[in-house]
Every structure is written in structure tokens, then in C-alpha cells.
Amino acid sequence: DQAAGRSQLLQGRRVVITAGGTREPLDPVRFLGNKSSGKQGVALAESALAAGAEVILIHAHMDVAPPRDAKQHSVDTALELRAATLSAAAGADVVIMAAAVADFRPSTVSTGKIKKRDDVADPVIKLVRNPDILVELVAHRAAQNLSQLIVGFAAETGDDEHDARSYAEAKLARKGCDLLVVNEVGPGETGQEKVFGRDGNQVEILSRDGAGPVQAAGSKRQVADAVVRVIAERLGAT
Ligand code: CTP
Ligand code: CA
């Protein structure tokens, strides 16, 4: 039956999805965070569940509740997200990195609350690089010879030299994932934030094999459904 077939695009597939924004501690009460709401990752989880997948949602900080039908791991930092994701990816057909992973973390975490004092200079925060989980997933897939589809997300801004699309294409090549879902961030025409925390989204899904980009716009759920369709096509083709 056609309709049932279409609604079960990911039947029997194990899909790992990361969502939300990591938080990197500075001291017991403070962290470096980012604006990710987790909405797009949760929409992806809902969409993959509706398509019949078994979903493992690994989420850092989110403004929204995770879907009940997904298996869940809650994490705070990029290093925790990495450990949970690499472990879950071992048995996954698809890994979707929708989380906003901090590129850097404070090089040391103060055990006591950092205090402001008039007799010492204001503190300077030293940062160190976090590992790139997406790049590690791609390397792990190659080393283990896994048949696995790996999907990245990118929020890009254009500048005077290059537009958002060309930065995204370079990122796709650098990361080595199969698909990169790209949205342009920053102030929209009305000066309002275009993506973070909003209910709608507009993306381009780029493929490493050079297949033409797929455009998707609408609610985050509609965008998620489009991503799931592209993923299902890819799985069907391999
Ligand atoms: N990502 C990751 N590990 C990191 C940073 C990012 O797995 N330490 C993943 C994100 O989840 C996303 C993709 O990589 O799927 C692209 O993230 P993005 O921040 O756009 O890329 P970066 O390589 O960090 O480049 P930029 O300097 O533009 O932030
Ligand atoms: Ca980054």
C-alpha cells in the first residue's frame, strides 16, 4: 500500500540524532553556551519516529521537551555529547548532528565561583578546541567499514568575499559527511533573527556526491520531513 509505504520511510532503521546547545562550564555556576533551542533536532526526531525509525536522541540544553517515543541521553558539554554520540553511533544506520556543539571550552574549570575583586586584574578566559564530533564519526565509519549515513548541519553567514552557500560547500568537503543541511543565520530583512528559537526554517540540503541541492522551507517539522525524505532516498539507493 502506497500511503503506508510512504509513511514508513525509515522502518526498522536506527537513527541517532543530536540536538540542542552544549554548555561548557567556567565555574560551578557559569557556562559558555549558545542560542540553539533544540527545536530543529526535536522536529527531526519526531519526523524520524513518524517514518518508523528507532530514534536515539542525544540532547544538550534545549528550550523544548524531547519526544517521549525516542530513547534519550541528556548531556551538558561537548565532550559528554561526543562520548554519548560515538557510543550510540556504533549500531546506527543514520547519524544526524543537529546539535550546536561548542567549538571551544574554557581550558580550566574553576572549582570555586569566580569572584570579582578590586585588588586583582579582571580575569581572562583561555579557551581550548573541542574535538569535531562529525569529523570523528566520518573517520570512525571509514575505520570500521560501516554502512552508515552521516548528516551534518551548518548555520552559515555570508560576507563580502563569499556567500553562505560557498562556505557551506567548503564545509561539506572538509567534514566528509554525506549530507549537509544549511541554513543562513543572522538578522533577516526585518532585523529579526532568522533561525534560532524561531518556529520556521529555510534550508538547503547539500550532498557530497554532487546531487543538486534540495530546498526546503516551512515549519521546522516540514524541514525535518524533507531531510528524512532525502535520507530515505539515500538509504534506498545503497
Ligand atoms: N560539529 C561537531 N563537533 C564540533 C563542532 C561542530 O560535530 N566540535 C558539527 C555540528 O553538529 C554540525 C556541523 O559539525 O553538524 C557543522 O557545525 P559548524 O559549527 O557549522 O561547523 P564548524 O566546523 O564548527 O565551523 P565554524 O567555524 O563555522 O563554526
Ligand atoms: Ca562551530
Give the C-alpha distances (Å, rounded to integers) separating 77 from 61, 107, 189, 212. 9, 13, 33, 35
Give every CB contact of residue 114 below 8 A, 6+ residues apart in sequence. 26, 27, 30, 123
- In angstroms, the CA 30 to CA 52 distance is 40
Residue located via cell numbers 500511503? 3
Q: What is the mean pLDDT of residues 196-208?
A: 83
Q: Which segments are annotated as binding site for CTP?
A: 103, 113, 131-134, 153, 171, 175
Q: What is the pLDDT of residues 112-151, one digit of tens each?
A: 999 999 999 999 999 999 999 999 999 999 999 999 999 9
Q: Ligand 2 center to residue 202 CA distance, Å?
A: 19
Q: Which residues are annotated as a binding site?
A: 103, 113, 131-134, 153, 171, 175
Angle between helices 78-89 and 133-144 in degrees, nearest 10:
20
- Grade residue 201 by pLDDT with cuts at 50, 70 and 90: confident
- pLDDT-derived band at 86 (thresholds 50, 70, 90) equals very high
Q: Is the ipTM beyond the 0.95 threshold?
A: yes
Q: Which helix (H) or strand (E) holds 142?
A: helix 133-144
The number of beta carbons lying within 10 Å of the beta carbon of residue 106 is: 18
pTM for the model stands at 0.93
Q: Please report, as a single letter, which amino acid is at residue 61.
A: H
What is the whole-number distance in angstroms between the Cα of residue 101 and the centre of ligand 2? 6
Phi/psi of residue 191, nearest 5 degrees:
85, 0
